[in-house]
Amino acid sequence: MTNETTPRKRNAAATRDAILDAARRVFTIRGYDGCGTREIASEAGVNVALINRYFGSKLGLFSEAVLFDEEVDALLSMPLDQMADDLSELLTTKPLTKPDFDITLAVLRSVSNINATEVASKKFHDRFVAVLADRLTGPDKYHRAEMVLSVIAGVDLMRRVCRSPALANDGIVAQPYLRDILWSLIYPDEARFDANVINR
């Protein structure tokens, strides 16, 4: 008969998830160089040796923890013909702070480490740029996909981190301008510009 007071052993999947969740929280607050594997393990409530077992190294953990974001998958699943409208609205209205994990802050606070920066660059290319480029048509697909990512990252940084006045108040003024910039990158041959915006 099992003693009900004895805690269950955590299975491998649960342990891995606990480490990832802890790493996301810690990297968001401290960045790559600002923390060690012991701190992450302590936050996860596991032995530090398990980080190497499941992720190979701190850099391997950073790659999987910080550069996986459900929001990225949501962006890439948007219908292409609605992406400019949906993205411009999302970028100018989403909450200024994120609980637990903030990919923008985690990467921004890790750029001092060249290895973390290289990992971030490759992950962004593989998970966002390459996927979006495959959906685009017309010339310079990869360059345009990179530009879309740059617009997303830049607006998110300026609005949520720098608190740019131009992007405040739910981006009511900025949203149509942003929409047209994104549209011109997604559909360069059909770039549309709102006459109301141009004539302001």
- CATH tag for 12-65 (out of 3.90.230.10, 1.20.1300.10, 1.10.10.60, 3.20.20.210): 1.10.10.60
Residue 24: band (very low, low, confident or very high) from pLDDT cuts 50, 70, 90: very high
Alpha helices (runs of H) in the chain, residue ranges in sequence order: 12-30, 37-44, 49-55, 58-65, 70-76, 83-93, 103-108, 114-124, 130-135, 141-156, 174-186, 195-198
Average pLDDT, the chain: 86
Digit-coded pLDDT (tens) for 88-134: 998 888 888 887 888 899 999 999 999 999 999 998 899 899 999 99
Does residue 198 carry a pLDDT above 60?
no
> Selecting from 1.10.150, 1.20.1070, 1.10.357, 3.40.50, what CATH number does the domain 70-198 have?
1.10.357
pLDDT digits (tens, 9 = 90+) for 41-65: 999 999 999 999 999 999 999 999 8
Structure tokens given for 113: 């480490």
What average pLDDT does the segment 170-183 reach?
Answer: 87
